[in-house]
Structure 1
Amino acid sequence: MSTPEVADRTPSSPVVRALRLLARLWLGISLVFAGISHLSFARQDFQAQVPAWVPLDEDFVVLASGVVEIVLGAALLFAPLRWLPIVGVVAALFFVAVFPGNIGQWREGVDAFGLDTDAERLTRLFFQPVLIAIALWSTGGWSWLRERVRR
């Protein structure tokens, strides 16, 4: 498996491969940055997003999700090509898992990250599916999942 197109078994043009690489690198760097922010300067904003119904300590949730984001981001940046589809699926599942926090922020009217109106918080919800799609597309996760479903 020497090229990205082999990792997901979908032939693509050099432009598409470059776009996928850039998207994966952007997502990896963004996750590492977000994870570091969970552990440091944005910790309180993230705590505000933990829904009240989560039966765990807010700070634990924020710290744990920060560590997971750093690990996922590093994996997106440095994992061997054969592992990228699995990393993409795990990243997509992570984005699904944290989505209730975003919904909770909107429903409960919690101000955090500069989102201080219901419209801004609602708009943010529409970006989570985009992150899921980028995680799957940029890593070959879509193709990997399709192969598993066909078997």
Structure 2
Amino acid sequence: MLRTLARALLAALLIAAGVAHLTVLRRGYRIAVPDWATRLLRTDKDMIVVASGAVEIVLGAAVIGLPRERRRVGAAVAAFFAAVFPGNVHQWRTGASAPGLDTDRRRAARLLLQPVLVIWTIWATGEPRDTPGRAVRRRATVRHGISR
């Protein structure tokens, strides 16, 4: 039950952030994109913001819409959170203000939040230790002599 709620909140967070990337906060999010990212990806900051927003929406929908792929989707979300971390570091190092991140303390708190998001994602999209599915698989492997 708690994991289900955590997944729903994670999906809502991703979708809301993605929509914000594409609409009201689009301009503000460009501040977090480091110049090296535009050179590496051979595009402009706005395209990076739009693409990351679209990815967030797709990942948020997948968290809820693909329950059989929950662990894989969780790994993709965690990887996404890790991939955007350099932008957060860039924003903190440069002191660039963005909506909601207009002080050094808030930018530092955002940095500390990123690992929490990764851990939350992995936990929320993982399997509980004693789910019926795991118990059935465990019995089947023992019965058929299959080692894990």
What is the TM-score of this pair, normalised by structure 2? 0.81
Q: 1:90 corresponds to which residue?
A: 76
CA distance in 2 between counterparts of 1:142 and 1:44 reads 40
Corresponding residue pairs, total: 126
Deviations 1:72-105 (A, max 9, x none): 000011113x200000000000000000111111
Task: Select which of 90, 112, 125 maps to 2:111.
Answer: 125
What RMSD in Å do the two structures reach over aligned CA positions? 1.6
Q: 1:103 corresponds to which residue?
A: 89
CA distance in 1 between counterparts of 2:4 and 2:79 reads 20
- SS of the residue corresponding to residue 87 of structure 1 reads helix
Q: 1:10 corresponds to which residue?
A: none
1:121 Cα deviation (Å)?
Answer: 0.7
Structure 2 regions of 5+ residues with no counterpart?
130-147
Structure 1 regions of 5+ residues with no counterpart?
1-17, 144-150
Map 1:44-83 to 2 at 5 A.
44-54=27-37, 55=39, 56-80=43-67, 82-83=68-69
- Identity among equivalent positions (%) equals 50
Q: 2:18 corresponds to which residue?
A: 35
**Amino acid across the alignment from 1:89:** A
CA distance in 2 between counterparts of 1:91 and 1:118 reads 26
1:44 Cα deviation (Å)?
Answer: 0.7
Contact 1:28 1:72 in 2 (8 A): yes
CA distance in 2 between counterparts of 1:77 and 1:113 reads 28
1:59 Cα deviation (Å)?
Answer: 0.5
CA distance in 2 between counterparts of 1:46 and 1:142 reads 35
Deviations 1:35-82 (A, max 9, x none): 0111111001111110121123101100000000000000011113x2
Pick 1 or 2: higher relative contact order, CA cutoff 8 A, min separation 6. 1
Which 4+ stretches in 1 moved above 4 angstroms?
none
Please say which structure displays the higher CA radius of gyration. Answer: 2
